[in-house]
Amino acid sequence: MSSITLFETPPPESIKSQILQMVVDYVTDISMVAIAPSNPLYNLYQYGIGFEVHLYLDAMDGSKGIPVELIVALDAQDPDQVVGFLLYLPVKDDPEACAVAYMGVHVSHRRQGVARAMLQKMVGRYPHAELACVVGKVPYFEAMGFQVVGARGPQVLMNTRDHGTDGLLAVLDVAPIYRSLEVQQIHTYLLQQHGKRAMVDAEKKRDRHLDQMTHHAKVFVQERLGEAATLNPGRMPRLL
Beta strand 82-90 with 128-133: parallel, antiparallel or unpaired? unpaired
Per-residue pLDDT tens listing for the chain (240 residues): 689 999 999 999 999 999 999 999 999 999 988 999 999 999 999 999 999 999 999 999 999 999 999 999 999 889 999 999 999 999 999 999 999 999 999 999 999 999 999 999 999 999 999 999 999 999 999 999 999 999 999 999 999 999 999 999 999 999 999 999 999 999 999 999 999 999 999 999 999 999 999 999 999 999 999 866 544 444 333 332
For the chain, list the domains and their CATH numbers. 2-231 (3.40.630.30)
Beta strand 128-133 with 97-105: parallel, antiparallel or unpaired? parallel
pLDDT value, residue 238? 31
Spatial distance between the Cα atoms of 196 and 212, rounded to a whole number of angstroms: 24
**Ramachandran area for residue 195 (φ above 0: left; ψ -120 to 50: alpha; else beta):** left
DSSP 80: T
Instruction: Decide: 87 and 112 in contact? Cβ < 8 Å.
Output: no
Phi and psi at residue 188, in whole multiples of 5°? -65, -40
Query: What pTM, to 2 d.p., does this model score?
Result: 0.90
